[in-house]
């Protein structure tokens, strides 16, 4: 850079040299490896291993290499295999170098052998099988049956650009122990695999070695490329762990002696039983009785309930099943004896109150029983109440409220029951006779204008008193008078009288008397409270004329009226209504 300080632009640039950057891509061929390993000590392999000294051999020699047949002869090696509880048999594997084939049979369900090769699954859904290996030539060092068919489960992906790789020689490899168990192609995208590895697992308690390796075989034109192999998950299936949960254990249940009709008993399992995992208070019990008519039993959570049946005795066996939370059971039992106790007689079917009309009777079915003793006597506290053929017959003789006690005896116990008997007496009113009177004389024909007396005789044929008995007098259905009888005792006769003036002539007039017209008296019968008669009413023109005769009739009428009044006052009490007035 030079400046001469002349003029406004005094700068100067000089280029001393020019250089070029050249990038050269050269094809190349090589490979790269990446590896990852993992180990697990004291590994619990889900396998069952068998050696030359297990099972039975025939035509084989036990050599250092294992089992080998004699020259030109076939030998057999037979052994039994059984899966652990809750697990399944997987594949059969053999080790060594030999010409051989494998036979298997389920002794519980099959009668013919099935052929297998090493690595084949055994008979499915069979937990116990017999294995026979026929060795033709060579030596077999051991055999293995894996459990639950263990597999290596892999998921992963290849990301980036693989155009510079030779895919025929590039791969992802998985190994277990000394065995290469799987090889995955180096292709862009996700991949997954499930590979049986029962043959490659270590012996029980050995060390598991698991390795993953990637081989990148380049056949590149020299351009830069990036490839990533990513393993998302890797695991081994088929493993299991057995936890032994033993059955509950209980001490011996003692036999029980209880009294008839006594209370039941409850036994806590926590004091009688124990379990290796389940606490005693969480154990449950199922129980049954050999005779449920004597003893009833059931489990109530962690308690056993024993309950005697009422009025029953005898002996019953109790069967028990004690269950823990895993479903394991203990079975046991004991006996229960119920000693008989005499029972008193028992009544049934008698109502607490009986309502009976005096003069009538009532019968009630009355059951009397004794579960274990014969009843010797049944009697009542009233002479008018008797017990016969399972019925209580009551025939009261007086009104009022009575307590009747029935007592039964079995010779040891007396049992009584009471019934309240309410005895009532009702009246029964009837109109005994009905008369129509004129001037105190009973006649059956009258003249228009006559004042007549309607006289009814009322009798009480019931057993109770009647009070305030209302009566109605009617002519041709029309009420013409009423009245009231204050009281009528049993068998008593009273009179009911109404006055009425005849107004119009007619062939016959119906006269009716009704007692207890307001239906206020409760009677034994209501159908006999009405009585009616009929009278003839004539006009005045039809009667004989003449003053002398009229005077005589008038005098006789006056005498009859006074005589009637005298007789009425001397006779039974009556209630009379005057014409033209009403109460």
The answer, yes or no, to whether residue 121 has pLDDT greater than 60, is yes
Q: Quick one: CA torsion of 504, 505, 509, 512, rounded to 10 degrees? A: 30
Domains of the chain: 47-147 (2.60.120.260), 151-236 (no CATH), 249-339 (2.60.40.10), 349-424 (2.60.40.10), 429-577 (2.60.40.10)
Q: What is the pLDDT of residues 168-209, one digit of tens each?
A: 899 999 999 999 999 999 999 999 999 999 999 999 889 999
Distance CA 421, CA 408 (A): 19
Stated pTM of the model: 0.48
When computed from its CA atoms, the radius of gyration of the chain, rounded to whole angstroms, is 63
- What torsion, rounded to 10 degrees, do the Cα atoms 518, 523, 528, 530 define? -10
Q: Which range (74-88, 446-460, 544-558) has the least confidence?
A: 544-558
Strands (E), 301-399: 303-308, 314-323, 329-339, 346-348, 353-357, 362-365, 367-369, 377-380, 385-388, 391-394
pLDDT for res 74:
92
List pLDDT tens digits, range 524-536.
888 889 999 988 8
Distance between CA atoms of residues 228 and 29, nearest Å: 19
Average pLDDT taken over every residue of the chain: 85
Give me the pLDDT at residue 8, please: 62
pLDDT of amino acid 166: 86
Could you tell me which residues come within 8 angstroms of residue 549 by beta carbon, excluding any fewer than 6 positions away? none
Could you give the angle at the alpha carbon of 507 between the alpha carbons of 503 and 510, nearest 5°?
75
CA-based nearest residue to 429, from 396, 468, 386, 458: 458
Alpha-carbon distance 447 to 470, whole Å?
30
Residue-wise pLDDT tens digits, 393-440: 999 988 889 999 999 888 888 889 899 999 888 888 999 999 999 888
Answer whether residue 574 shows pLDDT above 50. no
Cα–Cα distance measured from residue 583 to residue 581, given in angstroms and rounded to the nearest whole number:
7
> Is residue 321 over pLDDT 90?
yes
């Amino acid at each position: 850079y030079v400046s001469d300080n002349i003029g406004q632009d005094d700068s100067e640039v000089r280029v001393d040299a020019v250089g070029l950057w050249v990038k050269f891509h050269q094809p190349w061929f090589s490979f790269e490896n990446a590896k990852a390993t993992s180990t697990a000590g004291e590994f619990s392999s889900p396998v069952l291993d068998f050696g030359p000294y297990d099972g039975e051999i025939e035509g084989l020699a036990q050599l250092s290499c294992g089992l080998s047949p004699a020259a030109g002869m076939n030998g057999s090696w037979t052994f039994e295999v059984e899966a652990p509880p809750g697990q399944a048999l997987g594949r059969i594997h053999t080790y060594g170098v030999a010409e051989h084939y494998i036979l298997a049979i389920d002794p519980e369900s099959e009668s013919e052998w099935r052929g297998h090769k090493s690595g084949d699954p055994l008979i499915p859904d069979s937990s116990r099988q017999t294995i026979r290996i026929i060795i033709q030539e060579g030596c077999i060092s051991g055999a293995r049956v894996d459990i639950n068919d263990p597999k290596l489960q892999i998921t992963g992906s290849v990301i980036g650009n693989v155009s510079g790789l030779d895919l025929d020689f590039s791969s992802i490899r998985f190994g277990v122990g000394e065995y290469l168990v799987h090889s995955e192609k180096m292709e862009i995208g996700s991949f997954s695999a499930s590979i049986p590895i029962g043959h490659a697992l270590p012996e029980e308690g050995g060390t598991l070695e698991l390795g993953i390796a990637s081989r990148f075989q380049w056949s590149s034109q020299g351009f830069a490329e990036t490839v990533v192999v990513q393993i998302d998950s890797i695991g081994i299936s088929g493993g299991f762990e057995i936890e032994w949960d033993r059955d509950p254990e209980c001490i011996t249940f003692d036999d029980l002696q209880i009294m008839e009709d006594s209370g039941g008993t409850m036994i806590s399992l926590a004091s009688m039983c124990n379990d290796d995992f389940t606490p005693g208070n969480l154990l449950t019990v199922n129980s049954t009785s050999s005779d449920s008519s004597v003893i009833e039993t059931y489990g109530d959570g962690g308690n056993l309930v024993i309950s005697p049946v009422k009025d029953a005795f005898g002996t019953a066996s109790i069967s028990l099943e004690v269950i823990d939370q895993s479903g394991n059971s203990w079975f046991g039992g004991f006996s229960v004896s119920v000693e008989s106790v005499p029972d008193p007689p028992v009544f049934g079917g008698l109502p607490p109150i009986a309502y009976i009309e005096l003069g009538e009777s009532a019968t009630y079915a009355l059951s009397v029983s004794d579960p274990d003793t014969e009843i010797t006597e049944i009697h009542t506290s009233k002479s008018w109440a008797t017990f016969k053929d399972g019925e209580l017959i009551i025939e009261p003789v007086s009104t009022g409220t009575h307590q009747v006690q029935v007592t039964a005896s079995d010779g040891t116990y007396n049992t009584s029951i009471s019934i309240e008997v309410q005895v009532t007496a009702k009246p029964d009113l009837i109109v005994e006779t009905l008369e129509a009177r004129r001037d105190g004389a009973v006649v059956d024909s009258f003249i228009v204008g006559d004042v007549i007396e309607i006289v009814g005789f009322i009798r009480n044929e019931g057993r109770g008193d009647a009070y305030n008995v209302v009566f109605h007098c009617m002519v041709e259905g029309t009420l013409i008078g009423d009245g009231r009888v204050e009281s009528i005792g049993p068998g008593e006769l009273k009179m009911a009288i109404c006055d009425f003036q005849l107004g119009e002539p007619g062939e016959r007039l119906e006269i009716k008397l009704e007692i207890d017209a307001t239906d206020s008296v409760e009677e034994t019968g209501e159908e006999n409270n009405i009585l009616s008669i009929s009278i003839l009413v004539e006009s005045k023109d039809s009667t004989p004329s003449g003053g002398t005769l009229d005077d005589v009739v008038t005098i006789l009428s006056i005498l009859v009226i006074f005589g009637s009044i005298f007789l009425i006052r001397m006779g039974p009490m009556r209630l009379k209504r005057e014409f033209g007035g009403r109460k």
